[in-house]
Chain A
Amino acid sequence: MRYRLILKEVFIGLKTKDGHRFKVNIKRFFMGMKFTDGIVFKIGIYALLISLGYIYLYPMLYMISNSFMTMNDIISVNVRWIPSRLNWENYQLVWQEVNYPKALREAIILAGLPALAATFSSALIGYGFAKYRFPFKKMLMFLMIMTFIIPPQITMMPTFRMYASYGLLGSIRAFVYPAILGQGFNGAIFILIFYSFFKMIPKSLEESAQLDGASPFKVFTKIALPLAIPAIIIVFLFSFVWYYNETYLTGLFLRGSELSTLPLRIEAFINNYTSIYPEGSRARELMQAAKLAGNILALLPLLVLYFFTQRYFVESIDKTGITGE
């Protein structure tokens, strides 16, 4: 709109042969003026955005396009981005081999239950830290942050032996029990999200409820929780995604059991398949596309989830004050 106005001025300048008017407005159009960006600036921004966006999307596009390729397409120099035809065989192969619907159901349960438990517990803990004063609070919070900074690899072996002695290995309990006690994957981050969110709720709201005779737990469930819905959504989503994608610890804890996550199943399938064919054979080349198809199938649930909830993902970071002032 603004540009159109400026352009109009430029034309008026041309028509009336008003050299000054023409010059000033041409300059305005390209370079902008105070509070308005010129077209050069705009173009620069979009060019940067598009090139960075390309870098970000490149692996994704690569995966999608290559997963549809036939063996000839992969080898051929002429085909780079667009496969000669949509080839669903790679998907069919993976779909059947890993029994996709069943594996998906299992993976969703395996990520969903711990995520629910983690959301519930971190809400309670975050509320406790945010709203009450008690001795050693600073120290406890420091310890909590340390659990995030210490790499899980340090504690992996003792944890493994400990879970074995509790009899948690090979079942979903190995994830739900720690999560319900606030020690799930990245539990500290979720507690901090709730902490900073509950900090933002004005104290007077709770005080008035207290004056009306509500117990602390009633205040929590009836006042704080309903206000914290954006935080609940974001913690659940993040937690779900991280549990779903976690392969290192999951692989360790579930080793030798029937349970497995989707990415792990697909990885296992790929390893099985590649070991059948000798190094350098053509069938093995073909596996490249099948592997990518497998990865896409593993990511598909998350992508679907993301496209339905991306609003919450990107907006609630704002609302939840994850930035931690």
Chain B
Amino acid sequence: MKNTLITIQKLLGDTVYKAHEKLDAYVLKHVRKMTHKLTHNKLLNVSNSHIIIAQKFKIKITNKRREMAVGYIFISIWIVGYLIFALYPVFYSLYLSFFKVRLAGADIRLDFVGIGNYQAAFLQDPYFIEILINYVLRLALNVPVTIVFALIIAMLINQDIKAKGVWRTVFFLPVIISSGPVIAELMNQGATTLPTIENYQFIDLVINNVGVFLANPIQALFDQILLVLWFAGIQILIILAGLQKIDKEIYEASQIDGASPWEAFWKITLPSIMPLISVTLIYTVVSMSVFSLNEVIIYIRNIMLGESTPALTTGYGYSATLAWIYFFAMSFIILIFVGLIAVRGKKVRA
């Protein structure tokens, strides 16, 4: 009984295998024929050494050219996507920033205003410049704080400590859970500020001694210290990866030469991870700036979705203008930070 079953199984298997083989051969034969026809015709003739297009243009196939073509084939999907989804919106919004846009039902009406929108943003808009300056000040304070904390935490985790995995899990958690609604809710309920900080009259001290101009951003920093720290998730990992790549022997050698840990930090650790710090800087500025609860973004969105009135400071065209000013402010900040780091880096190396 068992033997017969096995023979049947074998027979079945054989036939299926043979049929499969035949089908494969058949399909392959036709595919080959098709590709041959596609590459050996009057319009396009591909041989081992040349490509002839329309029997006239002869292109020699060199290794370099082949590599080029394959490279372009690999990134072609990106180029197509860029042309379809990324390029047009950017230019269209730049174009619209020079217009007064009025939505009339489904179609839009454009009136050219030149740089009127940009002038309006600086001269007529009662809020925008103030919001922007406040934001830039806050950014100037928050970004270094985020990165210093990321650096401290990364260095702590990099120490020889128990339960490394647990700590990494804790410090990386914000990346997973920091979505717009969740943070908005936490902010509403006042869970983004540490109650212990408010109890010490630290902020009053700053206001009394330094002045309101600086105290406002500092107060904002402490109000949302958790948010600021929560932005440090990915930065911690980037810095941590950099720290782990530093050769341990360098530290040992420096210790033997009598360097204190403090000196080792400034002379070994920091210079080795300097390039990573500029990466984290750019990442921090960008991620803070595109965060959907950021006040500039909210202001721009309100204008974009709001009613378009004859006044210049309304409507989509104007909001596009604001977005572009915002973008330039952001790039400017990134440039300043990266420039500072470059100068500092030179000093360390010298």
Contacts and interface: CB of A to CB of B under 8 A. Distances in A.
The answer to whether A and B assemble together is yes
Interface of A: 34-35, 37, 45-46, 48-49, 52-53, 55-60, 62-63, 66, 121, 124-125, 127-129, 131-135, 137, 140, 143-144, 147-159, 162, 177-178, 180-183, 191, 216, 220, 241, 244-248, 263-264, 266-267, 270, 288, 291-292, 295, 298-299, 302-303, 305-307, 310-311, 313-314, 317-318, 321-325
A135 B179 contact: no
B17 interface: no
Given A56-B230, A134-B68, A323-B241, A263 B168 contact: no
Contact of B81 (A132, A158, A178): A178
B142 to A, nearest CB: 15
Contacts of A58: 191, 194, 226
A163 to B, nearest CB: 9
B336 interface: no
A143 to B, nearest CB: 7
Nearest to B283: A189
Given A55-B194, A157-B316, A306-B176, 20 more contacts: A37-B159, A56-B174, A57-B170, A59-B192, A124-B77, A132-B68, A134-B72, A140-B78, A147-B82, A147-B86, A153-B323, A153-B326, A159-B85, A220-B74, A241-B176, A245-B179, A267-B181, A298-B182, A314-B165, A317-B237
A125 to B, nearest CB: 4
A157 B304 contact: yes
Contacts of A125: 74-75, 77-78
B41 interface: no
A310 B67 CA distance: 38
Contacts of B300: 153
B241 A35 contact: no
A53 B85 contact: no
Contacts of B175: 241, 313
Nearest to A250: B180
Contacts of A132: 67-68, 70-71, 74
A323 B330 contact: no
A153 B238 CA distance: 27
A57 B67 CA distance: 50
Most chain-B Cβ atoms within 10 A of its Cβ — which of A55, A140, A153? A153
A192 B133 CA distance: 32
Interface in B45-95: 64, 67-68, 70-75, 77-82, 84-86, 88-90, 92-93
B319 to A, nearest CB: 8
A59 B186 CA distance: 7
A155 B192 CA distance: 30
Interface string B240-280: 11101100000010011000000000000000000110010
Given A37-B160, A153-B297, A59 B191 contact: yes
Contacts of A152: 290
A121 B78 contact: yes
A248 B180 contact: yes
Chain A to chain B: the 10 pairs with minimum beta-carbon distance, closest first: A181-B81, A128-B74, A132-B71, A245-B179, A155-B89, A158-B89, A128-B75, A158-B92, A248-B292, A154-B323
B311 interface: no
Given A182-B77, A324-B279, A62 B173 contact: no
Nearest to A178: B85
15 contacts: A52-B153, A55-B226, A56-B173, A143-B82, A155-B89, A157-B316, A182-B82, A183-B81, A247-B179, A247-B180, A267-B181, A292-B189, A298-B182, A302-B176, A318-B240
Nearest to A295: B182
A63 B75 contact: no
B289 interface: yes
Contact of A150 (B90, B165, B276): B90
Q: Is the interface of B mostly helix, strand, loop or mixed?
A: helix
B26 interface: no
A266 B182 CA distance: 10
B123 to A, nearest CB: 22
Nearest to A159: B89
Interface of B: 64, 67-68, 70-75, 77-82, 84-86, 88-90, 92-93, 96, 149, 152-153, 156-157, 159-161, 165, 167-182, 185-186, 189, 191-192, 194, 225-226, 229-230, 237-238, 240-242, 244-245, 252, 255-256, 275-276, 279, 282, 286, 289-290, 292, 297, 300-301, 304, 316, 319-320, 323-324, 326-327, 330-331, 334
B320 A157 contact: yes
B40 to A, nearest CB: 18
B194 A49 contact: no
Given A63-B191, A157-B93, A317-B241, A135 B68 contact: yes
Contacts of B301: 153
A317 B167 CA distance: 16
B159 A45 contact: yes
Contacts of A303: 176-177
A283 B73 CA distance: 61
A178 B89 CA distance: 13
A268 to B, nearest CB: 10
Contacts of B176: 241, 299, 302-303, 305-306
B241 to A, nearest CB: 5
B78 A191 contact: yes
A60 B89 contact: no
Contacts of B279: 323-324
A303 B316 CA distance: 39
Contacts of B81: 121, 178, 180-183
A155 B90 contact: yes
A61 to B, nearest CB: 9
A314 B153 CA distance: 14
A296 B115 CA distance: 47
B77 A180 contact: yes
A97 B252 CA distance: 61
Contacts of A150: 90, 327
Contact of A302 (B67, B71, B177): B177
A321 B167 CA distance: 21
